[in-house]
């Protein structure tokens, strides 16, 4: 762990001990916290990418912490309405999940059902529709998990070549990028699946056990998404191909239209809430979103939402395995929001000072 991270956690523990968390809660506790989760591990994914995956046990511990400390999960639509009407209960939160990773079904949604808590699942439908592993993430995972030290790319797929030292981190990252770019630009869906299976076998990994039996690196199927909805999870939009083309309105409309039409075919309605894929958005597309009946949209930017927050620019806290309990508590009680305000204030003051200095130079 870095010295900065150690110092931050020690400072937060001192702040909590002297009552700072309670003060922050009184100052900003009237706002709405939206939490974001991605994947729940079914094997060892939290070690591969702790920012993306969390163990079922860690997720359950987070939910138990929220329950012990009086946080009140609300459905997304109700929470936004009550936020704007100034009728939120104290410590109101919304739980959201991005993408629709398979592990969420038993690793998160079952826990929420036992608590009687609502959640929103933003579904990207391409992989849910086809059932293939998520190509770009699966490539990186296979290289990370490799049981061999050297890989001959020419034996994996025509069009690839080179001997790769899998112990060298820079070469490993470059190889992952090469394979992903090659697959996405040159191959069909069926060919990408074949490449993944061949890559796994070349790395000494059983792709059938990994992708089909264990369901590692796969999303929920549309039938499994229906099961999630039966457990109290609200299904909403995350684009079809996990793309948000900012410079092509027609392509953006198609992403949203395809996403909606596939979900509607499986009985999901009132699809008016969006999560920006990879946090990509721009102010210029907000009128387009309103024109296609998007009522709220969540970003990947940290922050508490208040009544003046634009519903198409909702902020969230991205929880993950790498966040310690004291850091999670600090965010939930509003310490993070206050510190961000101080940082923004300092930045604004610095910019104003620089502009004044230039004018008088």
pLDDT at 358 over 70: no
pLDDT bracket for residue 345 (50, 70, 90): very low
Domain boundary among 192, 213, 234: 213
Domain coverage including residue 205 = 135-213
Same domain flag for 277 and 321: yes
Q: Contact 329/18 with Cβ under 8 angstroms?
A: no
Query: What is the bridge-based pairing of β-strands 150-152 and 163-165?
Result: antiparallel
Q: If you search the block for the tokens 């391409």, which residue do you land on?
A: 126
| Over residues 299-324, mean pLDDT | 96
Task: Give whole-number Cα distances, 332 to 10, 31, 152, 271, 322, in Å.
Answer: 17, 11, 48, 28, 16
Q: Please count the structural domains in the chain.
A: 2
Domain boundary among 167, 184, 213: 213
Same domain flag for 43 and 104: yes
Rounded to two decimals, what is the model's pTM? 0.93
Same domain flag for 117 and 255: yes
Task: Give whole-number Cα distances, 217 to 46, 58, 104, 140, 247, in Å.
Answer: 12, 19, 12, 10, 30
- Where residue 306 falls (left for φ over 0; alpha for ψ -120 to 50; beta otherwise) is beta
Q: Tell whether 360 is covered by a domain.
A: no
Q: Tell whether 271 is covered by a domain.
A: yes
Distance CA 120, CA 233 (A): 6
Q: For all residues of the chain together, what is the average pLDDT?
A: 93
pLDDT at 77: 98
Same domain flag for 119 and 162: no
Provide φ and ψ at 273, rounded to 5°. Answer: -115, 135
pLDDT digits (tens, 9 = 90+) for 194-241: 999 999 999 999 999 999 999 999 999 999 999 999 989 999 999 999
pLDDT bracket for residue 352 (50, 70, 90): very low
Same domain flag for 108 and 228: yes
Same domain flag for 124 and 259: yes
pLDDT digits (tens, 9 = 90+) for 109-137: 999 999 999 999 999 999 999 999 999 99
Domain boundary among 163, 187, 213: 213
pLDDT at 271 over 90: yes
Same domain flag for 202 and 252: no
């Amino acid at each position: 762990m870095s010295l900065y991270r150690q110092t931050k956690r020690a400072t937060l523990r001192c702040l909590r001990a002297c009552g700072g968390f309670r003060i922050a809660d009184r100052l900003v506790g009237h706002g709405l916290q939206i939490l974001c989760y991605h994947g729940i591990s079914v094997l060892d994914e939290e070690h591969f990418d702790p920012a993306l995956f969390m163990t079922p046990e860690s997720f359950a511990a987070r939910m138990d912490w929220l329950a012990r400390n009086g946080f009140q999960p609300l459905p997304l639509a109700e929470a936004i309405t009550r936020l704007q009407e100034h009728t939120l209960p104290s410590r109101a939160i919304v739980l959201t999940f991005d993408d629709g990773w398979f592990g969420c079904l038993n690793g998160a949604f079952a826990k929420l059902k036992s608590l009687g808590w609502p959640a929103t699942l933003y579904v990207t439908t391409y992989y849910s529709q086809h059932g293939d592993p998520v190509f770009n993430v699966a490539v990186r995972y296979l290289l990370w998990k490799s049981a061999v030290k050297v890989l001959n790319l020419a034996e994996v797929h025509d069009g690839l070549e080179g001997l790769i030292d899998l112990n060298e981190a820079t070469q490993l990252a470059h190889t992952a990028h090469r394979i992903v770019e090659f697959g996405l630009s040159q191959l069909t869906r069926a060919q990408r699946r074949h490449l993944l299976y061949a890559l796994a076998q070349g790395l000494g990994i059983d792709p059938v056990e990994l992708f089909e039996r264990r369901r590692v690196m796969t999303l929920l199927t549309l039938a499994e998404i229906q099961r999630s909805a039966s457990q109290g999870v609200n299904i909403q939009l995350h684009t079809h191909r996990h793309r948000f083309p900012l410079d092509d309105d027609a392509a953006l409309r198609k992403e949203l239209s395809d996403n909606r039409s596939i979900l509607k075919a499986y009985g999901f309605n009132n699809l008016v809430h969006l999560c920006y894929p990879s946090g990509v958005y721009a102010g210029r597309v907000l009128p387009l979103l309103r024109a296609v009946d998007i009522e709220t949209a969540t970003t990947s930017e940290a922050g508490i939402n208040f009544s003046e927050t634009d519903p198409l620019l909702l902020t969230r806290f991205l929880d993950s395995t790498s966040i310690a309990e004291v850091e999670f508590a600090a965010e939930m009680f509003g310490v993070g929001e206050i510190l961000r305000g101080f940082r923004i204030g300092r930045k604004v003051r610095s910019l104003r000072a620089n502009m004044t200095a230039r004018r008088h130079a």
